[in-house]
Structure 1
Amino acid sequence: MRPSPALLEQLMTAKLVPSLAQPSVGTGERRSRMKGAGIEFIDHRPYQPGDDTRHLDAHVMARTGDAVIREYALMRQVPITIVLDSSASMATKRDTAGLVAQIFGFVGLAAGDRVQVAVNRGGALRIGPRLQGTARAEILFDEIATAEDGPAPDLMPLLRAAQGQRGLIIIISDWWDEALAEQLPLAAAAGHEVLGIQILSPAERDPTGLGQGVVSLRDAETGDEVDVRLDLATLSAYATALQSWQQDLGQTFRSRSWHFLALGAEDSLDDFFLRRCRSLGILT
């Protein structure tokens, strides 16, 4: 399972545009709020004893007599973590979810950011190595493609490991497990920004294709089965509940100036990344 080379080529110059997360680690291509020995001049400040005299601005001193230091912007990376849900309810959507994770990861690598993925390994969410540059894309792709079946993501190990490194967390899931949404305040309190991607199957988006009458439905997570009479009233109630649930999730994200996008497992990924994500300002 690999993304389309043609799509990756079109995204080579793209960049994730966080609303809140700031470049704060390593040496990268994003202008940070920190000042130091960089290459992009941003300001002067008065000389103070102990400053490196090599940074004195000779031209200003010659013109005004003032001793001032040239300050530069430090170029840093945004720490990006991609969380892939591979719980039982994602089984029919796993290929699409994996491709979305790979593409977001590739965009981060191509933009010079620091990217890591968190996937199920041995029944728990495991955090992979921090990767930089498109030369490491195959490592990232393999980390995602070999994710194992497991429970819905528990973000606590990730948040503990990321202490002191506030960044962008991209969570790719169907979001059926309410416990996942309940962990979002913890991510916000730790200073992270979260981009939520919801992937639903065609039947989850529109169950009319299942037919009408009594249908036996099985909970993919618990294995429990329940008989449901699918008629116009039931289908209408489901559509209303799904819309309300998605609106509530979206509001949870918007209230924190985050983004939440719903994607069908059968939808075009070219359209999703090249049009939707760019129109929303998620990608350049």
Structure 2
Amino acid sequence: MQLPPAVQQELARRRLSTTGRARAQGGAGERPSRAKGAGLEFADHRPYTPGDDIRALDAQVTARLGVPVVREYVVHQQLPVLVVLDASASMATGTPAKFALAQQLAAALAYAGLSGGDSVQAVTFGAGVHSSGRMQGVNRSTELLGFLGRVRPEGGITLHDAVRHAAAAAPRGALVVLVGDFLADSDPQAVAHAHSRAQEVLAVQVLAPDELDPAPLGRGLTRLEEPEGHASVSVMLDDASLSAYRRALEDWNAALRAQLARHGGRLIQVRSDQAVQHLILREFLARGVIR
């Protein structure tokens, strides 16, 4: 799959942002890490210990203090990023269907990770759980976007099962990007599982306009189908039922947002009729998802 040229050009000079729970680790990247050592960006002084490289000695500070002191520098490493895309059958529902935008957003955020010097792995789930290799460097973007572009929405594997499989393989301190609708009962458990691994979660919720407000569906007896469980139910759409639905959706998302916030995570809600260019170039920049 291809990203719009304007989105790709903008992301080429951006990187994914974190709230602080995720941390750079391992490899040679572009993010300042907690590690100190050889580098170009000065961090601090510390007393010399046997085995230190004598080239790190600061002659002026050593002469002033009368004890050997070495310079420490910031080590730039990679942030491990895990992008998890919901490709279950429910993502094919809605008007317009949610999956096309979810797929583009997952690809854009994965591309931002690669262009920012991070180590990125993508996971899709629906008919099965499928993982790409862990990739580094923007030259791997064609391969990674191709992996995300080949998946189609089908099946009913849950986000919880996918995250339990994928997050367990990702390192502690990784940034886990979840893209889906988050309407299944087990979805909050998936968020909790990532948090239990000391991973930071960015949840991008894609909902269709008629899921946010079913009023345009009309009034009267309506048959609703559950695409993953192949069940259906008839409901009477009237002012009372529509109000109850809106309250239930608001309460559900408020609980999900609160659970994420308790652990330093974030929930970004988008509509499936929004353009990926608008979301990436305006809303995601304004909300600090990328910087």
TM above 0.5, one fold?
yes
Q: For 1:196-275, what aligned pairs fall within 5 Å after superposition?
A: 196-275=203-282
Change over 3 Å in CA distance of 1:185–1:120 after alignment to 2: closer
Mean Cα deviation higher: 213-222 or 270-279: 270-279
Match of 2:169 among 143, 161, 175: 161
Distance 1:225 1:171 in 2: 27
Instruction: Give deviations 1:220-277, integer Å, cap 9, x for gaps.
Output: 1111111111112211211121111111111111121211011110013233222222
Q: Which runs of 5+ in 2 are unaligned?
A: none
Question: What SS does the corresponding residue of 2:12 show, helix, strand or coil?
Answer: coil
> Cα distance, 1:78 vs. partner?
0.7
**Structure 1 match to 2:14:** 14
Is it true that 1:36 corresponds to 2:40 in the alignment? no
8 A Cα contact 2:168 2:197, kept in partner: no
Paired letter, 1:4: P
Distance 2:241 2:62 in 1: 79
8 A Cα contact 1:16 1:283, kept in partner: yes
> Cα distance, 1:127 vs. partner?
2.2
Q: For 1:72-83, what aligned pairs fall within 5 Å after superposition?
A: 72-83=73-84
Q: For 1:95-134, what aligned pairs fall within 5 Å after superposition?
A: 95-120=100-125, 123-134=127-138
TM-score, length-scaled by structure 1? 0.94
TM-score, length-scaled by structure 2? 0.91
Distance 2:196 2:229 in 1: 31
8 A Cα contact 1:24 1:165, kept in partner: no
> Cα distance, 1:30 vs. partner?
0.6
Is it true that 1:191 corresponds to 2:198 in the alignment? yes
The CA RMSD measured in Å over matched residues stands at: 1.6
Is it true that 1:137 corresponds to 2:141 in the alignment? yes
> Cα distance, 1:138 vs. partner?
0.7
| Number of aligned positions between the proteins | 282
